[in-house]
Structure formats: C-alpha cells, structure tokens
Structure 1
Amino acid sequence: MSRKQTIIRGTFILTATGFLCRFMGFFYRIFLSHTFGEEGVGLYQLIFPVYSLCFALTAAGIETAISRTVAQKVSLGKRKEAREILLLGLFFSFLLSCACALILQGNAAYIAENFLGDARCEPLLIPLSYGLPFAAIHSCISGYCYGMKETKIPAISQMIEQIARILSVYIFYMILTKKGSDATITIAVLGLVIGEMASAFYSAKSLSRNSHPFARLHFTYTDMLFRFRELIPLSLPLTANRVLINLLQSIEAISIPARLQLYNHTNSEALSIYGVLTGMALPCILFPSAITSSVSIMLMPTVAEIQATDNYNEMGNIIKKVAGSCFILGLGCCFIFLVFGNWIGTVLFGSSIAGKFIITLSWMCPFLYTNSALLSVINGLGKTTFTFLINSFGLVIRIAGVFFAIPLFGIQGYLWGMLVSQLAVSACAIGVLWKNLRVRNA
C-alpha cells in the first residue's frame, strides 16, 4: 500500500470514529448544559487546564516521540527496536503519571484556591487525578500504533472511551435522581476517569492479543541504553513544548473569568460565559476538526518516514494536497457556522450567547483546521522547537487578548484575539515549511 493510500485509509478510519465520538460528545455536552447549568459546565471546564498540564508532562510528548521513532524504525525494518521503544515509553510515562497523580491529590486544595481561583474545584481535582495513569497507557499504545500506521486500536479505544464516559455519567445521574439526591458536576469527572480506564484496558488487551509486542522481546541493558538515547532526547523537547504550551493555555483559560469580572460581570456571570465558550461554542467549532486531526495524526509518521528516505519532492506534494484540503474544509465550515450558528446555539444548547460565539469563531475555521496539519508536518520533520515557538507566539496573542481586550470589549475582545492568533500561526508555519523544504530541494 502506497503512503498516500495509507494516509487516506488511516484518515478515513480515524475520521469516522472521530465524527461518531464528537457526535456523541455534542449531545453529551447538551445534556451537561441542561443538567448542571452554564455555571456547572464552567466549573467542569475550569479543571481541564490542570488535567491537560499533567497529561502534557507525563504522556503527550512521549506519545509523539514514540510515534515518530517507531515510524522510522519500521521504515528501516527494525521492528524489534520499535517494540523496545514502546516498552521504554510506557515505563517512563506510567511512572511519571503515578507521581503526578499523587502530587495533584496532595495539593488539590491549594491548586483549586490559588491556581484556579475557585475552592469548589477541589472535589473535582482529586477524582480527576486517578485518570492520569490510564491516560498514559492509552496514549503510549496509540502512539505506537500510529507509528506502525495501524489505526484500528486507537480508533476503537477512542470510541470505547466516549461510550464508557457518557454511559457512566448517565447511570450515576439516574441513580442519584432516583434516590432523591442532587447530581453534581463531580459525576462528569468520574465519567471521564472511567472512560480513560476502559480505553487503557482495551488498548493494552488488543495490542497484546493482535501483535504480541513483547513476545520474545529480550530487553538487555545495552538495548535499553540505546533506546533511551533515542527516545528521551526526542521526548524531552516535545514534553517541554507541550508543558509550556499547556501552562500558557492554563494561564489563558484561568484568567478569562477573572478578566470578565473587570468588564462589570459578576463571578457567576463570568463563569457562565466561560462555560458557554469552552463547553458549548468551541466544541461546536472544533467538531469538523475530526477530519484534520485524523490527517495530522497520520501525516506526522508519514513525514518522518519520507524524511528517512530523503524523498522531499514526495513530501512537498503531500503537504500541498493535505494543507489545501484542510483549508477548503475550513471555508465550507465557516459558511455553515455563519448561516446556522444562531440556530445551533439557541435551539440545541438553549443559549443565545453560544450562537453569537459560534458566528464570531467561524471566521477562524480555515486557518484553525489547516494549522493542525502544518504543525504536524513540522513535528514530523523533527523541528519541534519551531512548533513550540509558533504555538507560543499564537498563545501570547491570545493571552494579550485576555488581559487587554476583555476588560475593554468583554469576551468579544478575546474572540478577536483568537482569530488574529490563528492567522499568525498559519503565517509562521508556512514560513518555516517553505524555508526548510526549499533548502532541502536546493
């Protein structure tokens, strides 16, 4: 199967699964908004910067490093070394996630009050921490599968995670309702943890049954040292990249409610606006990105494989086709959200504010969808420092919107900042790729 066919096949599988999961998640968010209200959804969304930061520290960089390294090993016929990379990555990621979970549990009160600015987040952070080790297992196995160009296990595990999360929350809600107890947003956090557990168990079981990655694998000290020198130096900048990016995102997300209060909003109103934006409008805008996310996942190991063979003409053709397709998709989605944005917000979410947010955010769709593919190519080339700098530049623009535009223009100022940020990221990513590919072809 050619590289183009591999990308198309993998993208189709991941996209179909991604759309189905996002379709379920779309109605799941409607359920959350009607059950717990805008303020409850706001509290739920407020803890995600902490979860994302912990995941970035323990698994995200290692997953990307596993995917890229495994792709190169497989292209050179070194499958045993690819399996050793997976084992080493799993060990480090699981160890880090367990340590991070303990630290999060011990400092939940401090993080809730001083970092998130709301003590009500403490009972949400403690159960959230138990999902980290399972997320690490799931992440590393998915990275290995992407490097092998196998999408079945990641796709099904994603589906299982979403189904387990939604069903568990609904069951908890029904049990509490029948008992006459109030259902709090905590059950949504428990559902998230159960979803991570289910996907981790499925991924580990399926990988062991289908490919036996550890069968007859003699992992000597010398082998471990060689794999360590290959994986860790690559994963460290990726992890630092993700941690710093998530730290900036956390500062951005946590500061939004506080800055909204400077625009004459009460604490409750600010949290409600934040919940509508992050829990309703943004997920709606990101719904079609199931396609571009799938393309990006398949594109990075493909670029790494092409780089190993120095076939830069093929790489240039693939980048042009993928980026062009993502941009056209973004234009189509922009038109749809402009026309139906108000209806989606008012009818589906029961929030006229959500409709206004969707219309404003629709303008960034062409750039948002294209950027995921462009940044994936840069990572595949091993230029992770550029990815970090580009993402950081975009986040600095958004944070500037939070601190300077929100007090003057309200949440609308932040939405404008998001649009400018995506435009800047597109320009920088295109510039980096143009320079690198032109030098290679010279």
Structure 2
Amino acid sequence: MSRKTFIKGTLILTLAGVLTKIFGFGCRIFLSRSIGAAGMGLYQLIMPVTAVCYAIGIAGPEVCVSRFCAAYAASRDHLRARHTAVFCFGMSMILCIICTVLSYMGADIIAGYIFHNPHVAPLIRISVFSVPFACIHCLVCAYYISKERTVIPAVSQIFEQAVRLGAIYIIVHIAHNKGEEITAAVGVAGLVCGEIAAALLCAAIVLTGRRKNIRTTRHPGIEVKQIIKTSIPVSLNRLALHGMQSLEAALIPLMLTVYGYSAQHSVAIFGILTGMAMPVILFPSTLTGSVAQMLLPSVAKEQSSSDKLIKSSRMALVFSLAFGFICIIGYTTAGAVIMAYVFDEPKLSGYIRIMAWLCPFIFINTTYKSMLHALGQAGRVLLNSMLSELITIICIVFLIPRMGIYAYLLGLLASQAANSALSICAFTRTVSRITTHKPLRS
C-alpha cells in the first residue's frame, strides 16, 4: 500500500469516525438526560453481552476478510478475494444466528446469575437482534477496506449513527406525547435500528456493485484451513476479552455495594464511568482506530520486509505517544469541565481527569494489536489481553470493597500499561524472527 493511499484511507476513516463519535455523543447526551445515570448503567450492562456475540460470530471472519482479501488483491486475484469474503460471511452469519437465538432464550439466566439484575433481561432480548445485521455491516466494511476503498465503510458508519440518533429521538418524542416512562430500552432500540439500516445500505452497495462485475464459471479454491486457523484465535481472543469484560461489568456494581453503596447508586456510578466518561476518553481513538484499520492490510502485504515493519511500528509508537499526551493535556484542563457540563453530571470531571492518562496506552494497544493480527500473531494478542483483563478484575474484586470506584480506575491504568508493554515486546520478537527467517507461530 502506498503512503498516499494509506494517508487518504486513514483520513477518510478518521473523518467518518469523528462524525460517528459526534452522533454517538448526541445519543449518549440525549439518553443520559432522558433516562439518568442509573438508566445509562443498565444500558451499559448489556453491551458486553452483544460484544460476546460479536466476538464469537464476527471478529474472526472480519479479520480474515481484511487479511486474506488484501493479500489476494495485492496479487490481482480479485475473484479469489470475493470467494473468500463470501465464505467468511457465510461462516459468520451462521455463528451470529446461533448466538442470537441462545442469548434470546437465555436472557433471564444471564440477567439473574451474571448481572444479578432482572431489569437487564428484556434489554438483552432486544439488543441481540442487532447481531446478524452487524455481521453484514462489519464483513462488507472489512472487504472494502481490504480493497483500499474506505469511502463505503465511512459512509455506512455515519449512516448507522445518524439512524440510531434519529430513532432514539423519535421513540422518546412518541413516549413523551403518550406520557409513558422512558427507559434504557429506548437506547437499545436505537442500537438495533442503526445496525439494520447500516446492513441494508451495505447489502444494497454489494448487490449494485455485483451487477457491474463480469460473471465467470471459474471457482478458485480458497484456503479454508488457513481461514479457520486464523479465525479461531482471533475469535477466542475477542471472546476471552469480552467474556472477562462481561464479568468486569457484573462485578463493578456488585463490589460497590460491598463498599457501601446502594444497588441503584452502584449502577448509576457504573453508568457514569462506562456510559459517559469512557466514551469521552475513547473519542480521540477514532484517529488511532482508523490508522489501525489501514495498518492491518498494509502490514499483511509488507510482512516479508522487516525494515518496512520496523518503520511502521516506530511511526505508530511515536504517533500514539505524542497524540496521547496531547489528549492528556486537553482532558485534564478544559475537557473534563466541558464534558461534565454537557452531560449535566458534576462527578464526571473527576473521573475524566484520572482516566485521561489511559490515552497513550489505549492508542498503543490499538495500533500494535492490529499489526500483530496482520502478522498472524492472534495468539499473542489473546494472551496479552487476558493478562490485562486479569489485572483489572483483581483490582475490582480485592480493592473496590476497600477503596471504592477509584480502585477500578487504578486497575484500568495498570492493565493498559501492561498490555502496551506486552504488545510492543511481542511485535519486536515477531519482526526479529522475520529477520532471521524463522517461521512465525501464532
């Protein structure tokens, strides 16, 4: 991938990401003012459930599409790239449907035994309908990114968030007119509407583009074994990560009650942290996320050249550190106060000032994980993520009952710093093996 194409693709995805985040902020601000901190807490509790479904059904096939289709496109084998994408899509859709059915049927068990909150069950039943549509959206975007056509993924992201915001606004307006109570179900319904709209848009683009392609009876072989071998570690990585995040989400309100908070106050604090503070902190990751998306196919094509890999990693590290410290300055000064005013939540500013120090580590993790996936090192990413989450969970279980919510923030900082160091070391070792012509192992 040329520097011009890389920069152009990154800028397009970044612009789309910024607009997407703006719509997302609009949704969260509107929701927080409509359903309150406790409602935001319930809304955030279901996010790990859908994330686990995404991990099982989408994560592995999505990476395979980006990696293999980019490699085939580089060798001008576009037909094989399309067949690979179709195979990955079929595999992903089957897994997503299975996850949707099981989650819907087991919603009461998940709500009662994992989250200890029966109000979560109906929200889970609504949210899981987004999973099959997210499969269409994510796989189509991955395919076009592998072809270095970033406009389509960018447009679909913006369209999804715009529909989500519009759906939430309409539902709230109707509920107000009828005098009905506005609950967290409004936000979940908006999530589903957004995914359905994005999936329909992506499907229309694919079907329209297919008519322009020349039909052929040739069916090139696809590397099924290699796809599955690549997909399973990635899916296990995301599953382990999101599974532990689900445990984390369930433990935080529970441990806060042990500390002395009421159940409602615990969920409200959880909502402020995960529904307001964390999205603010992750807003700049739009840029690093775009860089990471473009790095995956780029590194996949350049993995035979250790010099290019080292150059890419140095640029990613310098960029992540510099951008991270700029974000720290912004958040610890005016950013925290502004966000507390916007969300109408005074406690938010203190949390943002502490969580701002996560930025450099989050940016490093985002870029280096993408490069490791491109080099087939999904197993390393899995191990790093597991160790990182384990640190956070240890802090939640053993320190929150003694120190309160600040123990969780301390755990986040420690885990992200550890993950950054492990990711850099793993990438360095992988490149050194390329230099000495040793085989890579995931």
TM-score by length of 2: 0.95
- Aligned residue among 411, 429, 438 for 1:435: 429
Q: Per-residue displacement from partner, 1:152-189 (whole Å, max 9, x unpaired)? A: 11111101100010101100111111122222221211
1:434 to partner: Cα distance = 1.6
1:297 counterpart = 2:293: yes
Percent identical among aligned pairs is: 33
Indicate conservation of the 8 Å contact 1:6/1:149, yes or no.
yes
2:397 — aligned with what?
Answer: 403
2:114 — aligned with what?
Answer: 115
1:204 to partner: Cα distance = 1.5
Tell me the secondary structure at the aligned position of residue 347 of structure 2: helix
Q: Gaps (5+ residues) in structure 1?
A: none
Change (3 A) 1:409 1:171: same
1:376 counterpart = 2:375: no
Paired with 1:273 and 1:401, the residues of 2 have a C-alpha distance of 17
Report the more deviating stretch, 102-111 or 153-162.
Answer: 102-111
Cα RMSD (Å) of the superposition?
A: 1.5
Change (3 A) 1:138 1:219: farther
Indicate conservation of the 8 Å contact 1:300/1:379, yes or no.
yes
Paired with 1:39 and 1:177, the residues of 2 have a C-alpha distance of 19
Paired with 2:164 and 2:187, the residues of 1 have a C-alpha distance of 8
1:285 — aligned with what?
Answer: 281
1:95 to partner: Cα distance = 1.4
What code does the residue aligned with 1:277 have?
L
Indicate conservation of the 8 Å contact 1:341/1:356, yes or no.
no
1:214 to partner: Cα distance = 7.4
What code does the residue aligned with 2:289 have?
S
Paired with 1:217 and 1:290, the residues of 2 have a C-alpha distance of 39
2:236 — aligned with what?
Answer: 240
1:436 to partner: Cα distance = 2.0
Paired with 2:116 and 2:338, the residues of 1 have a C-alpha distance of 31
Report the more deviating stretch, 278-287 or 172-181.
Answer: 172-181
What code does the residue aligned with 1:154 have?
P
1:58 — aligned with what?
Answer: 57
1:24 counterpart = 2:23: yes
Change (3 A) 1:154 1:217: farther
Paired with 1:132 and 1:57, the residues of 2 have a C-alpha distance of 11
Paired with 1:162 and 1:429, the residues of 2 have a C-alpha distance of 31
2:161 — aligned with what?
Answer: 162
2:187 — aligned with what?
Answer: 188
Change (3 A) 1:436 1:216: same
Indicate conservation of the 8 Å contact 1:157/1:199, yes or no.
yes
Indicate conservation of the 8 Å contact 1:165/1:192, yes or no.
yes
2:128 — aligned with what?
Answer: 129
1:47 — aligned with what?
Answer: 46
1:363 to partner: Cα distance = 1.1
Paired with 1:266 and 1:418, the residues of 2 have a C-alpha distance of 23
1:266 to partner: Cα distance = 0.6
Paired with 1:38 and 1:331, the residues of 2 have a C-alpha distance of 29
Paired with 2:229 and 2:420, the residues of 1 have a C-alpha distance of 28
Change (3 A) 1:349 1:312: same
- Counting only pairs closer than 5 Å after superposition, residues 168-179 of structure 1 correspond to structure 2 as 168-179=167-178
1:341 to partner: Cα distance = 4.3
2:71 — aligned with what?
Answer: 72
Change (3 A) 1:346 1:242: closer
Indicate conservation of the 8 Å contact 1:131/1:193, yes or no.
yes
Paired with 1:359 and 1:404, the residues of 2 have a C-alpha distance of 24
Paired with 2:218 and 2:282, the residues of 1 have a C-alpha distance of 42
Indicate conservation of the 8 Å contact 1:327/1:370, yes or no.
yes
Indicate conservation of the 8 Å contact 1:260/1:406, yes or no.
yes
Tell me the secondary structure at the aligned position of residue 149 of structure 1: coil
Indicate conservation of the 8 Å contact 1:83/1:214, yes or no.
no
- Aligned residue among 246, 253, 269 for 2:265: 269
Tell me the secondary structure at the aligned position of residue 119 of structure 1: coil
What code does the residue aligned with 1:170 have?
Y
Indicate conservation of the 8 Å contact 2:27/2:168, yes or no.
no
Q: Per-residue displacement from partner, 1:309-349 (whole Å, max 9, x unpaired)? A: x1221221122112211211110000111112441343111
What code does the residue aligned with 1:249 have?
Q
Paired with 2:308 and 2:409, the residues of 1 have a C-alpha distance of 38
Change (3 A) 1:421 1:217: farther
2:338 — aligned with what?
Answer: 344
